[in-house]
Amino acid sequence: MSRTRLAAQAQAIWRGAPRSIASRRWVSSGPTMGTGAGPSSFGVTSNGVRYTALAALGAVAIYSATHLRPTLLEDERLRSKQDHLPGTKQPGGQKLISYEEVQKHTRRDDCWVIIDGKVYDVTDFLENHPGGEGIILANAGKDATKIFKPLHPPDALDILAPEAHLGPVDPLTMPEVEDLGPTDEEKRIEQARKSMPGADAMLLIDDFEVWAEKVLSGTAWNYYRSAADREISFDENMDAFRRYYFRPRILHDVTNGDLSTTFMGIKSTLPIFISPAAMAKLGHPAGEVNLTKGAGECGIVQGISINASCSLDEIMAARKDGQKVIFQIYLNKDRKASEALLQKVERLGAAAVMFTVDAAYRSKRTRDVRAKSHVAAPIAETSASASASKAPSKAPLGVSAAISGYQDTNLTWDDIKFIRKNTKLPIIVKGVQSVDDVQLCVDAGVEGVIISNHGGRQLDFAPAPVDILYEMRANRPELFEKIEVMVDGGVRSGADVVKALALGAKAVGLGRPFLYANGTHGQEGVERVCQIMAEEITNTMRNCGARTIKELKPEMVGPAGPWVGQNRPTWLPKA
C-alpha cells in the first residue's frame, strides 16, 4: 500500500466519507481474493498480502497523527455549533446531543424539546405558541413527539429559526421506554372497534356520532363534541330544524331529478360542503387528507381549516384534478403572517377564502377543557421570568385553546379590506348571526356569507342559524339576490338540508358529522356521509314535489303547526 493511498484513506475517515475503512475493502488495480467487507479484513491485494482491520487502522492513526492532524483541525466544515454540548461527534461533523443535556433545558428562559428524534430550542417561541407556553414547558427537556404530532402538521416546526434546530438526539442515551401494555382507554377502543359495523351499515348521520363516542380517544371525542358553556346553542342548532315542516306539493312527475348545484362559482354534485373543522388527525392518522380525498370522490367542496392537523401542501396535493376547495382563515395577530398565508393559498389554487368572524374571543368549551385536565403540570422558571410572567391559569387548556392562541381578537370591518388587498379570491364571511350584518357584508362587497354560530362552540344562547335564515326570508328577502347565502350548524339529515335550501340557502355545511365519520371509518366514512345525504336529499325533495334545487321554493317550508294568523309565513299570499 503506497503512502499516498494510505493518506487518502485516512482523509476519508477523518472527513466522514462514505467509504469508511471500518466497513469497506481497499481496492487495488490487481485481482482480489475473498469478500472481506467486514471488520475482520479488507480483501487481499495482488501480491497476496492481507491487511487486517487492526493493522490498517493503526497505520492510519500513526500517519494522521504526524501528517494530517493540523490540517483536519482547521477544517471548518467539520465543526458544529453544538460542538460544546455533551454528546457524540460523528465522523461527518454532526453532533448527537445527549438526552442528559436536553433534560437540563426546562425553563422559560432556556427550553428544549425532542420531536421525532430531533432537538429544538423553543425558548424564543414560547410566547408565540398558539396554545400558550404551559403545554410546552410541561414537556420541556423531554420527548414531546406523542403529544405534538396529533395536533400539528408536518411543517409546523419550519416556523422556528434555523439556529433553533439543534440536531439529533443521541439514541443511545435515550431512556428505554417501559412497555406497560395497552392502557385502559386503548383496550376500550380496541374492543369497540371490533364490534363496530362497517360504513355501509351506517344508515343515518347520527350513527357515526354514536360510534365515534365509542371508538375515539377521550381527547378526540371531547374536542369534536365540545360546545360553549352549558351547550344551549349546540342543542338549539339541531332543535331549531325540528320547528320547520314541509308543505309538499303533489302530482308532480319526480321520476328523474338532479341534486347538482353551483355556489360561489363552484359546481358541486350535492348542495352540501364540508365545513372547516380542525384536528382531523385526532380521529384518524390521515387527518384532513381523508376529507380531501372523500370530497373529491363525491364531487363536493371541502372547507380547509386553518388549524388543520395536516399541512396545506399535503391537503392540496391530495386533490383530484380540478377539485375545488375553500380555505378558511382566522387573522393572525401578526398581519404579515396572514398576508403570506393568503398569497400562498391563492398560489396553491384555492377557489375562495372563508373569513371566520364568529370566534372573536375565547370561549369555554366545557367538555374539551375537562378532558385536558391532565395538561396542567409543574413548570420550572427562573426568578426573573417568575416575576415578569402572568399568574398561571388554574383552568387547564383544552385542544381548542391549544391551537388558537395566534388568533387576533381585534377584528373590524376594515379587515375585509385587508383580505381583499392581499388576495383576488372571492371572500365568504363565515359566522354571520344577524340579518343586519348580512346587509353590512353586502355593503363591504364580499361575495358570500355563511350564517353560523360556530357549531354552538363560541357564544352560548347564540341564535340557531336556520332561524336567522327564516328571519331573513321573512324580513329581508331582497338580500338573497345581492349575496350568496350559505348556512351551517345543527344539520343532521337530508331533510335539514332541503329546508335550508327552500328558504334560500345556496349550500349547506356539515362539520362534526364528517369528523365523526373520518374518526370511525376514515375516507370510506367521509364518502358514506355523502351517500346518506344524497339519498335523504333526493327522497325529501321528490316527496315535496321538487326534482331539482331550483324547484325548491320558500312556500314549501315554514313553522310547525297550522299556517294561520301569526304563524303564517309572511311571503305567502294572504289567505
Please report the domains of the chain, with CATH numbers, ordered by start residue.
85-168 (3.10.120.10), 199-377+395-567 (3.20.20.70)
pLDDT of res. 302: 98
**301-336: pLDDT as tens digits:** 999 999 898 999 999 999 999 999 999 999 988 899
Range from 82-86, 368-372, 558-562 that averages highest in pLDDT: 558-562
250: which strand partners? Answer: none
Based on DSSP, count helices (H) and strands (E) in the chain, helices before strands: 21, 18
Q: Quick check: 9 and 18 in contact, CB under 8 A?
A: no
Task: Judge contact between 292 and 319, C-beta under 8 A.
Answer: yes
Sign of the four-CA dihedral 313, 403, 357, 340: negative
Q: What pLDDT, in 10s, does the model give residues 237-286? A: 999 999 999 999 999 999 999 999 999 999 999 999 999 988 899 999 99
Q: Which three cell numbers stand for residue 89?
A: 461527534
The distance in angstroms from the start CA to the end CA of the chain is 111
- Per-residue pLDDT, 430: 97
Which H/E stretch holds residue 465?
A: helix 465-475
More confident residue, 307 or 130: 307
Evaluate whether 526 touches 294 at the Cβ level (below 8 Å): yes
Between 405 and 57, residue with greater pLDDT: 405
Instruction: State the pLDDT at residue 364.
Output: 85
Average pLDDT on 558-572 reads 94
Which of residues 129 and 446 earns the better pLDDT score? 446
Q: Give the closest residue to 329 by CA, choosing from 249, 445, 423.
A: 423
A 10 A CB-CB count for 416 gives 19
Residues in Cβ contact with 349 at an 8 Å cutoff, skipping those fewer than 6 apart:
316
Whether the CA torsion 487, 491, 497, 500 is positive or negative: it is negative
| Of residues 441, 459, 6, the one with CA closest to residue 236 | 459
β-sheet bridge partners, residue 327: 304, 353
Prediction pTM value: 0.77
Q: Per-residue pLDDT averaged across 497-519, rounded?
A: 98
In the predicted structure, residue 42 carries a pLDDT above the cut 70: no
**pLDDT score of 389 more than 50:** no
The residues pairing with 95 across neighbouring beta strands, listed in sequence order, are 89
Please give the Cα distance from 491 to 356 (Å, whole number): 19
Please give, one letter per residue, the 3-state secondary structure of 64-92. HHHHHHHHHHCCHHHCCCCCCCCEEECCC
Please give the Cα distance from 94 to 408 (Å, whole number). 41
Secondary structure class of 396 (helix, strand, coil)? coil
Q: Which range, of 227-231, 285-289, 510-514, averages the lowest pLDDT?
A: 227-231
Q: Per residue in 64-86, pLDDT tens?
A: 444 444 444 445 554 556 677 77
Measure the CA–CA gap between 233 and 510, rounded to whole angstroms: 16
> Is residue 56 predicted with pLDDT exceeding 60?
no
Beta-bridge partners for 451: 432, 487
- Is residue 228 within 8 Å of residue 364, measured between CB atoms? yes
Q: Is the pLDDT of residue 28 over 50?
A: no
Q: What is the mean pLDDT of residues 30-57?
A: 39
Is pLDDT larger for residue 3 or for residue 434? 434
Which three cell numbers mark 407? 388568533
Is the model more confident about 93 or about 362? 362
Helix residue ranges, H only, 288-413: 288-298, 312-317, 335-348, 366-371, 383-388, 399-403
Catalytic residues: 330, 358, 454
